[in-house]
């Protein structure tokens, strides 16, 4: 039922050097999962240990719970060392006609540029969303 509500956030580190870390992962509704297997639930703590090396990628995947009338909603923060780059927020509710995906708290003052690919704003899954992080200089 709620497995139809899902998102895969495909994080692309476009830095020449430097590692991006996922921190403060929260699944407000639903759950995180790994390796395209919605039955392979992982904890917020495990998601918060994901790192993406320069010119590398990583996926953060979330979905609603099986046989539950709820979708997925949550946040993750992206960091370089101790510097926050941004917060990523998603809301893919069950039984709603609209989905939301936002890049919040962008740290453009530190030279970070964050962009995302189009996503499904209508009902159903948000889909796979590319989030590219670059740095000036």
> Which CATH number is 47's domain given?
2.60.270.50
Predicted confidence band of residue 68 (pLDDT cuts 50, 70, 90): confident
Closest to 85 in 3D by CA, of 55, 117, 112: 112
Task: Give the number of domains in the chain.
Answer: 1
- Measured distance CA(110)–CA(40) in Å, rounded: 36
Tell whether the model's pLDDT for residue 15 goes beyond 80.
yes
- Measured distance CA(104)–CA(25) in Å, rounded: 14
Please tell me the pTM assigned to this model.
0.95
Mean predicted confidence (pLDDT) in 37-46: 97
User: The domain containing residue 125 runs over which residues?
Assistant: 2-135
Question: What does the block give as tokens for 62?
Answer: 């979330």
Could you tell me the sign of the dihedral formed by the alpha carbons of 61, 47, 10, 26, in that order? positive
């Amino acid at each position: 039922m709620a497995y139809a509500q899902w998102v895969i956030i495909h994080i692309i580190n476009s830095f020449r050097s430097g590692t991006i870390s996922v921190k403060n992962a929260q699944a407000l509704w639903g759950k995180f999962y790994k390796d395209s297997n919605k039955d392979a639930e992982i904890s917020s703590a495990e998601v918060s240990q994901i790192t993406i090396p320069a010119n590398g990628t990583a996926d953060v995947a979330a979905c609603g719970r099986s046989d539950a009338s709820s979708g997925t909603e949550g946040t993750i923060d992206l960091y370089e060392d101790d510097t926050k780059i941004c917060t990523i927020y998603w809301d893919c509710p069950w039984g709603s006609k609209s989905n939301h995906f936002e890049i919040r708290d962008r740290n453009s003052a530190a030279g970070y540029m964050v962009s995302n690919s189009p996503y499904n704003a209508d009902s159903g899954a948000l889909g796979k969303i590319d989030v590219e992080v670059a740095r000036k200089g």
